[in-house]
Amino acid sequence: MAGLSILSSRPTLSRADLAFCNQSEIGSLDPAIASGSSEGRLLGSLFEGLTRANPDGGSPLPGVAEAWECSSDGLTWRFSLRPDARWSDGTPVTAEDFVFSWLRLLEPHTAARYAYLLWSIEGAQEYTTGGAGSPEGLAPEGMASDGDAPGGDPSERSPPGAESPENIAAEALRRQAVAIEATGLHELQLTLKRPCPYLPQLASYHPLAPVQRACLERHGEDWIKPGKLVGNGAFVLAERRLRDRIRLVRNDFYWDAAKVALATVDIFSVEATTTQLNMYLTGLVDWMVKPPPALYDVLLNQPDAHTGPQLGTSFLRFNVRRPPLGERRVRRALALALDTESLARNIMRGGESPVDSLIPPGLPGYDPASMGPSDPEAARQLLTEAGFPGGNGLPVLELLYPHTAATADFCAAVAETWRRELGLSIRLVNQAFEVYLDSTISGRYDVSWGSWIGDYLDPSTFLEAFLSGSGNNRTGWADPVYDELVGRAAGLSDSAERATLYRQAEQRLLDDAPIAPLFQRRNIQLVSPRVQGFVDNLLDVHPLRDLAVSGPPP
Amino acid sequence: MIRFLARRLLASLVVLAVVVTTCFFLMRLMPGGPFDLEQSPDPVIRANLLAAYDLDAPMHEQFARYVEGLLRRGDLGPSLRYRDYDVSEILAESLPVSLVLGGSALVLALVFGLGAGALAAARRGSAIDTAIMSLAGLGLALPSFVVAGVLVLLFAFHWQLFPVVGFGSPAQLVLPAVSLAMPFAATIARLFRAGLLEVLAEDWIRTARAKGRSPLAVLWIHAARPASIPVVSYLGPAIAGVLSGSLVIESIFAIPGVGTHFVESALNADYNLALGVVIVYTVLLTVANLAVDLAYNLIDPRMDDGLGGGAADEAVPRRGVAAP
């Protein structure tokens, strides 16, 4: 056996200063390509944007930019880059690096999922979509390919691969039209087509971090491999073993390296929650992100349990294209019949708090709208008014959910509540996550489980998901007034005015009830007491540069 | 012999072609695509993504390009889920891990399975026989996640003899290899015992005994070879199964082998990776079966049917081992 193990020839790595279990293997180390929360836990440590995430989840801190200012109309932003910002090969990070990297993010060939984060910049959306941008300038997901927009149907567009001279020339023109400019070695200027007050926060997000042109050109698609990757974050990539671990070591060229406490960090990709727990309990890791829900009762009472609210809600989607769910009163009746308080407490058991809004509480400067408290009596009355007294005449409804233990229990309880309170017959349908996604996207369901986790601290991250053209809406619900309110708010630079419009929009959504909000999600993780600087926050960001450990690993 | 090998090789290539073709189209017919996440990408971005991976072309064109890449350059394409990797890089990282783990498990299963089977056959009807066969029954009946869980609880937490997870050191190999070997050892023990009992009742064994050979010599020199035919038949699919990894064992012990890719690549609609592991499994299975057929000739020259090995197949129905 010992002889055989030579075959695998992997040197055993020593214990890092900090080791943690990241839930799944990351999709990519390329900040423009990566998406997902596992990726987010480490990419900000390899690449630093103009700003960087605040370890307490609050307003972003200066990163590569030491200062920034915005014109009074909210449309011109100037970022001053710190002169001592360096790549991990020692060369300086300049404004040109950002121009290169952001154009790369927007470029159609890159096929970056998060390209839309920059679409508030003049010309940006047109560059990504090959001129198919919606004319009124609002750039929520899904709006771009609205059938009415000229050339909006992606199938009619020439594919990015078609490299006729005209296409290349047209793309070069669109590239030049993107209003990202290096006005000095360390001065970056952006011209927006609509205000984006949360731009500094977006700038801390990994897709907007810079990549080094020289490194990409030298190594081609292998540039993300250990030994080749050049970053500008607090750490550099030392080792990567697929579905095993990623080792980071401190970047000595990082401008703030003196304040980085950890010399080495190991990031294990382990999917199975019990295996993660075994690793945590035996001291192999100091932090794990998802303890097994079956053990919540035992684990969450321990002092090392961290259970903070998340910027995310779970809700039910009603497919309004399917009768009788096209009827507003039926949808509201279904929503109001649910005792979300008891469902959250008794079924979720992770300390989830019930909500009656899409946007969870906790967004600075925003007070969520409300659907109203649970009221089975009012629900029965609504159903009677809609012509279904005591549930008579209603067809059997399908309640679709992805197969995980918690959602299965939750949906069974929802079905039972509707049966008891409204006399409905519900058929529970569970599908593998990918199949469930496909079913909800293509509208093959009556009622379905849904969740939304915000990307940044602004109401738009939630409300734009329910615009009529958004691919995340999935209910078939379309309200021009809602679209108009959300679009108008996006164009405002005054934050109080914006909040008022967003709140009106959210209230409209809740009154019309294409969704029934259930509870605010929580970040549930175990963190060893030896880890210092770990602060629970809404966005669940824990920059590795701000963490420290005390004493040797157990 | 050479004609036999050539025919088998040709047949294997046909099998591989059929498997690749079927999987290629079946996977693309599944609901869901590689780029669907909870957050839907903008349709234009989605179109860009599909174009970047050539998934927007008509299916027969995609197939033609895949086959061309495979035959011309041995190119299995990029992974659609692990986008920093090509499928061949993923296999190069994970296959050795599975081969080491599976190889160790196979050795364990053979040593313990043959040993226990022989002991049970030699002491037929005794308490030892009953104990071994009960254990073997248990080993077959207990799912590997239960066995692995109990082993972890006892040997990693209670006695702290072995590491709880990981791969690389011999100590880390013990618990997963034992868990993985358990059902195979149990099957081998039962098959070998049954084979021995049949052979030991033969006239020529009685002759050997009458000539004064010791019971041990009769068992291992005269009876073992013919009695191992059922075991050898079973080993073909078993070797392929055990070497291509196990999702359950890999996930419990956090082992970066190829078994997890088998399941996850299909769930993630990572078409290229799924095809890559299917090709690996098919090749393993074909080679293992070929080796088994060649082994029949060595074990019992009378079975030299030369062109196909059908007689052995009929004599001892193979126990199919489903893909892991």
> In three state form, how does the secondary structure of A90-147 look?
CCECCHHHHHHHHHHHHCHHHCCCCHHHHCCECCHHHHHHCCCCCCCCCCCCCHHHCC
CB contact under 8 A, A142 and B43: yes
Q: Looking at residue A220, what is its pLDDT?
A: 94
Cis amide prior to A324 (ω within 30 degrees): yes
pLDDT reading at A3 higher than 70: no
Q: Looking at residue A162, what is its pLDDT?
A: 55
The owner of tokens 């934050």 is A495
CB contact under 8 A, A4 and B267: no
Q: Which chain B residue lies closest to A269 (C-alpha atoms)?
A: B254
Q: Which of B28, B45, B82, B253 to mutate to test the interface with A (most CBs of A within 10 A)?
A: B45
Compute the distance between CA of residue B107 and CA of residue A325 in angstroms, rounded to an integer.
61
Q: Using CB atoms, which residue from B42, B45, B82 is nearest to A25?
A: B82
Neighbouring CB atoms inside 10 A of B206's CB total: 12
| pLDDT mean over A211-218 | 97
Residues of B in contact with A159 (CB under 8 A): 47, 51, 56
| pLDDT mean over B276-305 | 84
CB contact under 8 A, B47 and A225: no
pLDDT tens-digit series, residues A428-465? 999 988 889 889 998 999 999 999 999 888 999 999 99
Query: In Å, how far is B313's CA from the nearest CA of chain A?
Result: 32
Q: Using CB atoms, which residue from A115, A242, A451 is nearest to B94?
A: A242
Residues of A in contact with B61 (CB under 8 A): none
pLDDT tens-digit series, residues A302-320? 999 999 999 999 999 999 9
The angle, 0 to 180 degrees and rounded to 10, between the axes of the packed helices A480-490 and A495-512 is 160
Q: Looking at residue B322, what is its pLDDT?
A: 37
Q: Which string of DSSP letters, residue by residue, matches A246-259?
A: EEEEE-TTSTTGGG
| pLDDT mean over A477-485 | 97
pLDDT reading at B319 higher than 90: no
Compute the distance between CA of residue B210 and CA of residue B80 in angstroms, rounded to an integer.
67
Q: Which domains does chain A have, with CATH numbers?
A: 27-149+178-216 (3.90.76.10), 309-522 (3.10.105.10)
Q: How much is the pTM?
A: 0.89
Q: Using CB atoms, which residue from B83, B253, B269 is nearest to A27?
A: B83
Q: Which chain A residue lies closest to B105 (C-alpha atoms)?
A: A1
Residues of A in contact with B144 (CB under 8 A): none
| pLDDT mean over A62-88 | 96
What is the three-state SS of chain B? CHHHHHHHHHHHHHHHHHHHHHHHHHHHHCCCCCCCCCCCCCHHHHHHHHHHCCCCCCHHHHHHHHHHHHHHHCCCCECCCCCCCEHHHHHHHHHHHHHHHHHHHHHHHHHHHHHHHHHHHHCCCCHHHHHHHHHHHHHHHCCHHHHHHHHHHHHHHHCCCCCCCCCCCHHHHHHHHHHHHHHHHHHHHHHHHHHHHHHHCCHHHHHHHHCCCCHHHHHHHHHHHHHCHHHHHHHHHHHHHHHCCCHHHHHHCCCCCCHHHHHHHHHCCCHHHHHHHHHHHHHHHHHHHHHHHHHHHHHCHHHCCCCCCHHHHHHCCCCCCCCC
pLDDT reading at A83 higher than 50: yes
Q: Which chain A residue lies closest to B38 (C-alpha atoms)?
A: A437
CB contact under 8 A, B84 and A30: yes
Q: Looking at residue A163, what is its pLDDT?
A: 65
Retrieve residue B235's tokens.
Answer: 């080993």
ipTM of the prediction:
0.87
CB contact under 8 A, B96 and A7: yes
pLDDT tens-digit series, residues A126-160? 999 987 644 433 434 333 333 333 333 333 344 44
Q: Looking at residue B304, what is its pLDDT?
A: 53
Output the CA–CA distances (angstroms, integers) from residue A99 to A7, A33, A104, B94, in the order listed. 46, 17, 8, 38
pLDDT reading at A325 higher than 80: yes
Q: Using CB atoms, which residue from B100, B156, B256 is nearest to A4?
A: B100
| pLDDT mean over A411-426 | 95
CB contact under 8 A, A10 and B51: no
Q: Using CB atoms, which residue from B104, B173, B267 is nearest to A432?
A: B267
Q: Using CB atoms, which residue from A4, A33, A275 is nearest to B251?
A: A275
Q: Which domains does chain B have, with CATH numbers?
A: 90-319 (1.10.3720.10)
Q: Looking at residue A433, what is its pLDDT?
A: 84
Q: Which chain B residue lies closest to A2 (C-alpha atoms)?
A: B170
pLDDT confidence of B274, banded at 50, 70, 90? very high
Q: How many CA atoms lie within 13 A of A457 on its CB side?
A: 25
Mean pLDDT of chain A: 90
Residues of B in contact with A33 (CB under 8 A): 83
pLDDT tens-digit series, residues A263-277? 999 999 998 999 999
Lowest pLDDT segment from A109-113, A500-504, A541-545, B126-130:
A109-113
Output the CA–CA distances (angstroms, integers) from residue B257 to A39, A132, B102, in the order listed. 21, 44, 10
Lowest pLDDT segment from A192-196, A355-359, B51-55, B111-115:
B51-55
Residues of A in contact with B65 (CB under 8 A): none
Residues of A in contact with B273 (CB under 8 A): none
| pLDDT mean over A490-519 | 94
Percent of chain A predicted with pLDDT > 70: 92
Mean pLDDT of chain B: 88
C-beta of residue B280 within 8 angstroms of C-beta of residue B297: no
CB contact under 8 A, B44 and A145: yes
CB contact under 8 A, A242 and B90: yes
Q: What is the count of residue pairs from A and B with beta carbons less than 8 Å apart?
A: 174
Neighbouring CB atoms inside 10 A of A124's CB total: 28
Give Cβ neighbours of residue A123 (< 8 Å, ≥ 6 apart). A174, A177, A178, A179
Q: Looking at residue B298, what is its pLDDT?
A: 83
pLDDT tens-digit series, residues B204-216? 898 988 988 888 8
| pLDDT mean over A179-198 | 95
Q: Which of A275, A401, A453 to mutate to test the interface with B (most CBs of B within 10 A)?
A: A275
| pLDDT mean over A356-367 | 94
Query: In Å, how far is B43's CA from the nearest CA of chain A?
Result: 6
Q: Looking at residue B2, what is its pLDDT?
A: 84
| pLDDT mean over A325-346 | 95
pLDDT confidence of B293, banded at 50, 70, 90? confident
Percent of chain B predicted with pLDDT > 90: 63
Q: Looking at residue A532, what is its pLDDT?
A: 96
Residues of B in contact with A451 (CB under 8 A): 38
CA B322 to chain centre: 9
Q: Looking at residue A2, what is its pLDDT?
A: 43
| pLDDT mean over A117-131 | 92
Sign of CA dihedral A353, A355, A359, A365: negative
Query: In Å, how far is B246's CA from the nearest CA of chain A?
Result: 14
Q: Using CB atoms, which residue from B38, B47, B152 is nearest to A437?
A: B38
Residues of B in contact with A4 (CB under 8 A): 100, 103-104, 173
CB contact under 8 A, A278 and B156: yes
pLDDT reading at A13 higher than 60: yes
